[in-house]
Amino acid sequence: MKRITALALSLLCLLPCHAQAAAPTGLTAPASILMEKSTGRVLCEENADTQYEPASVTKIMTLLLVMEAIDSGALSWEDTVTASAHATSMGGSQIWLKEHEQMTVRDMVKAVTVVSANDCSVALAEHLAGTEEAFVDRMNRRAKELGMEHTHFVNCTGLPAEGHLTCCRDIALMSRELILHHPSIREFTTIWMDTLRNGAFQLSNTNKLIFYYDGATGLKTGFTDSALYCLSATAERNGMELIAVVMHAPTSTDRFESAKALLNYGFSTFALTPVYPEALPPVEVLLGEQSTVQPVPARECAVLLEKSKAGSVTTETRLAQSVEAPVEPGQKLGELVVCVDGDQVDRIDLVAAAPVERLSIGDIFRRFFSSFTLQG
């Protein structure tokens, strides 16, 4: 048997998964996309699968692989990286590393993130994979894993190279992977000005939104004569973080203004609203040292809503009437089904908040005879 409890909440209407709201006006970049971080839902797009050169926005994948190595323990923030002749020969945006110069991983990540240093990107790539070519192989493998269907990397910097292409959708996918699973990157992407080499080398962020856009959290700019102006811009307000990607903008101003238009549209049109179950009743435990166990949601739930539409969210709580001991913490006891206007949008496991040990044979007999005595 199951207990079924329905809770109706007067909220705002969810944008259906298959629907796309129209793109905001005022975009001058020929290709763009706006994505919400936690759900990965695309809120608007225009020519999002058209391939262009990404320029230094490429470095989002470079940073993702570095952050994955750090978080897995394969690399440490304080590891020393030595610049090779190849790394120092990159040109373009750089901090003018000298051959054999050494820096920590932390300082090189700072240089890549804040000033788009090509020399540090290659030095990090060689440190992790031995050669830039081997690192680029990793980049392309990771792109396939993330579903980046229109991407092919030739280098780890974004410097012009034949066949080095991606699209707005793919940039949004790798941007989301970086900020969702490696939030500590924000320590660097939100820097406006800083220094390296004991204060001798000044850094100023190439992403000007960090200075003047409310809630800006990153992420990466790019420019070459052939790629024109590209940007993956991230910003957070009221617990919702958005990713706005623009490519091939004609000027730097167009790049930033297009990203602003996307972000403004997202924050004014959508909201990420938490959903909570009503008070959950305890579940009976058979043959347990405790007679009941308290169910709790296995994770938080938030529904992405379009503010302009009235609607309703309903939750249905489905719980087992009883469970037999032993009960493990985190053991599934039921589920919470979340619907908007009758359409299911999420399903969250309801799990045991604490363990319940099984009664011993002796305890079972003592409990039985105690019950029998009380009845007599």
Q: Regarding predicted confidence, which is higher, 22 or 312?
A: 312
Q: What percent of the chain has pLDDT over 90?
A: 79
What's the whole-number average pLDDT of the chain? 90
Question: What pLDDT shows up at residue 363?
Answer: 67
Tens of pLDDT along 112-152? 999 999 999 999 999 999 999 999 999 999 999 999 999 99
DSSP result, 203-221? EE-S-THHHHSTTEEEEEE
* pLDDT value of residue 277: 83
Tokens of 280: 């959950």
- Only one residue has tokens 């799990």, namely 351
CB atoms within 10 A of CB 291: 11
Statement: residue 153 has pLDDT above 80: yes
Is residue 56 flagged as an active site residue? yes
283-286 and 80-82 strand pairing: unpaired
Distance CA 88, CA 253 (A): 30
The one-letter amino acid at 248? H
Closest to 324 measured CA to CA, from 357, 361, 367, 360? 357
Is residue 125 within 8 A of residue 132, CB to CB? The reply is yes
> At 8, is the pLDDT very low, low, confident or very high (cuts 50, 70, 90)?
very low
This prediction has a pTM of 0.83
Q: Give the pLDDT confidence of 298-343 residue by residue, as tens digits.
A: 998 888 888 866 567 888 999 999 999 999 999 999 999 988 888 8
Catalytic, 89? Answer no
Cα 119 to Cα 84: distance, rounded to the nearest angstrom: 9
Catalytic residue among 32, 84, 93, 116: 116
5 has pLDDT over 90: no
Q: How far apart are CA 312 and CA 342, in angstroms?
A: 9
CA distance 369 to 361: 12
Residue 7: its pLDDT value, please?
32
SS3 344: strand
Closest CA to 320 of 1, 98, 40: 1
3-class secondary structure, 270 = strand
Determine the Cα–Cα distance for residues 37 and 41; give it in Å rounded to an integer.
Answer: 8
Q: Taking residues 21-49, report their average pLDDT.
A: 89
The DSSP code for 350 is E
Which amino acid appears at position 177 of this protein? E
Q: What DSSP state is assigned to residue 29?
A: S
Task: Tell me, yes or no, if 59 is annotated catalytic.
Answer: yes
The yes-or-no verdict on residue 6 having pLDDT over 50 is no
Strands laid side by side in the 283-286 sheet: 292-293, 283-286, 322-324
Q: Which candidate in 32, 37, 56, 175 is catalytic?
A: 56
What is the mean predicted confidence (pLDDT) over 33-45?
A: 95
Active-site entry in 59, 110, 220, 260: 59
